[in-house]
Structure 1
Amino acid sequence: MSRYLIIINFRTLITFFLSIAVTYLAYEFKVVYNIDLTLMSIAIIFPLVFTIRGAFRRREKALEHLSRFKAGLKTVENYMLYSSQLNEEGKNQAVENIKKINHSLYLHLTTLSEDTSDLDASINHLIEFIKNNGEFIPKGCKEKIFRFLRDVIESSDNLVAIHAHRTPISLKAYCLIFIYIFPVIYTPTIINKIGVDNPSWLTFFIVMLSEFILISLYNIQDQ
């Protein structure tokens, strides 16, 4: 059930409050008019579609880089574990360093911080470990480890970049502002079409439903 409620947040509550407040005030002060909402719809829907498409493209790219990161890290781990000249203590230390890289990346992706010092440090620790224990790792194996480690570093850098550079803030602000002011323009037109003498709950329902759809589409790009 939680996956269906993930698009509901504090912005949803704000739009519900605005929908109720604007509709109440429109009835209270008898604000009714009939205007063409085509331009308003384009002003909201087009940027929303653009940002949602961009968000899904970034998601696809992120999944691609994440699978490459995981595969590269797992391959490096396997090469370390099957290095016959490396003792058990060395193997355990290598696995621990690899786990730190994995943990550091996932921890970074769950925050809004752009500081990657922990991730960089964990990668450097593994590189230093490989250099310090180079005599216990066969030359051919070591070359393959560094090749796959390069894939790990490139994919992690791409994931960090995708995480940091999302939808432009100005475009998101533009969409959100128009969604918030939408009831002000939309409600009197709905009252005019439904009729002042008809039940007001129908207007409340239509305005709240319209706002819920718009803000839910907006919230999708954050997932």
Structure 2
Amino acid sequence: MEKYLVIINWRTFVALAITALTTHFTLEKNFQYNFDLTMISIAIIFPLVFTIRGAFKRREKAIEHLSKFKSGLITVDICLQSQTKIGEEDKKALKQIIENISRYLLEYLGPEPTPIETVRAEAKKISDYIKERSVSMKFNASLKIQGFMRDVLQSIENTAAIKEHRTPTSIRAYCLIFIYLYPIIYIPSIYFRLLEGGSKSDSWILYSLGLISSFILISLFNVQEQLENPFDQKGVDDVKLEMFDMNK
């Protein structure tokens, strides 16, 4: 049931209230006009679909970067643990640092974020260690580990960029404003068409059409808002961060 109710919030009730009041006014004053409703799809549907697609792509990219991040950390851990010239104490310390990198990044992405600088500082410890011990390690092994750490660092920065940079705020604001204005444009026009079709006494048709249309549009906007931040763990489609935790 949660996945059906999650699209309903305070915006839903605002949009439905505007629709109901507009419908009442239209019927009371017999207000009507002929208007091409194709303009509605250009003004609302197109930018709304654009923002939903943008948010969905960001979510998919986030999953891709997190998968690369975890696989890179696992590979670095295996490579370091397999080095015979690294002492057991150092191996334990390095493993703890790798687990910290994973935990801090997921905390940064989650609802109670750790500063991204903390994640970068932990990742730098691994890179610095490899540079310091490169002489005592095999050249190929050191080079490969540095290569995997580069992938880890890139994934951290790419994921941080997705968290901090959203789809254009101006387009989302534009969509919301026009969704609220939509009943004022749509209701009198659809009333005109109903009168032409001989449904003058059936006011419930006008109410139903208006409320359903507004509900669909505001629900799509709410879906986009939930996809906007795929890490906050508030929506049913958020990225499952626990899947990328090295500590589990």
TM range (shorter): 0.7 to 0.9
**Structure 1 pair 189–59 and aligned structure 2 pair: CA distance change class (3 A):** same
Show the counterpart of 2:236. Answer: none
- List aligned pairs for 1:93-172, cutoff 5 A: 93-110=93-110, 116-131=116-131, 138-172=138-172
Shift in CA distance, 92/9, structure 1 to aligned 2, threshold 3 Å: farther
Alignment CA distance shift 1:167-1:90 (3 Å)? same
CA contact (8 A) 2:101 2:119 kept: yes
Name 2:188's counterpart in structure 1: 188
Q: Please, which runs of 5 or more residues in structure 2 have no aligned partner? A: 228-248
Unaligned runs of 5+ in 1: none
State the Cα deviation string for residues 48-96 of structure 1 (Å, max 9, x = none).
2222222233333333222211211111121223233434433332222
> Is 2:75 the counterpart of 1:75?
yes
2:209 maps to which of 203, 206, 219: 206
Q: Which residue of 1 aligns with 2:221?
A: 218
Decide whether aligned partners of structure 1 residues 113 and 88 sit closer, same or farther in structure 2, where only a CA change above 3 A counts.
Answer: closer
The Cα of 1:15 is off from its aligned counterpart by 1.6
Instruction: Find the aligned partners of 2:170 and 2:45 in 1 and give their Cα distance.
Output: 16
TM-score (norm 1): 0.84
| Shift in CA distance, 114/8, structure 1 to aligned 2, threshold 3 Å | farther
* 1:65 and 1:158 in contact (8 A); partners too: yes
Relative to structure 1, the CA distance from residue 132 to residue 11 in structure 2 (aligned partners, 3 Å threshold; closer, same or farther) is farther
CA distance in 1 between counterparts of 2:219 and 2:114 reads 27
Alpha-carbon distance, 1:152 to partner: 0.7
One-letter amino acid of the structure 1 residue matched with residue 123 of structure 2: I
After superposition, the Cα gap between the structure-2 partners of 1:115 and 1:207, relative to the gap in structure 1 and judged at 3 Å, is: farther
Shift of 1:101: 1.6
**Matched residue pairs, number?**
223
Q: Is the 8 A contact 1:47 1:175 kept in 2?
A: yes
Shift, 1:16, TM fit: 2.0
The residue that corresponds to 1:43 in the other structure is: 43
Are the aligned partners of 2:62 and 2:159 in contact in 1 as well (CA < 8 Å)? Answer: yes
Contact kept? 1:112, 1:164, Cα under 8 Å: no
Letter of the aligned partner of 1:21 in structure 2? Answer: L
CA deviations on 1:25-63 (whole Å, 9 max, x unpaired) are 333333232322221321111112222222233333333
Counterpart Cα distance in 2 of 1:112 and 1:21:
40
One-letter identity of the residue aligned with 1:118: T
The TM-score with structure 2 as length reference comes to 0.77
Provide the residue aligned with 1:28 in structure 2. Answer: 28
> Which letter maps to 1:12?
T
Structure 1 residue 114, shift from structure 2 partner: 11
Q: In the alignment, which residue of structure 1 is the partner of 2:238?
A: none
Alignment-derived partner of residue 14 in structure 1: 14
Whole-Å separation in 2 of the counterparts to 1:88 and 1:21: 73
Task: Give the CA deviation at 1:178.
Answer: 0.8
Look up the equivalent residue of 1:75 and give its one-letter code.
Answer: T
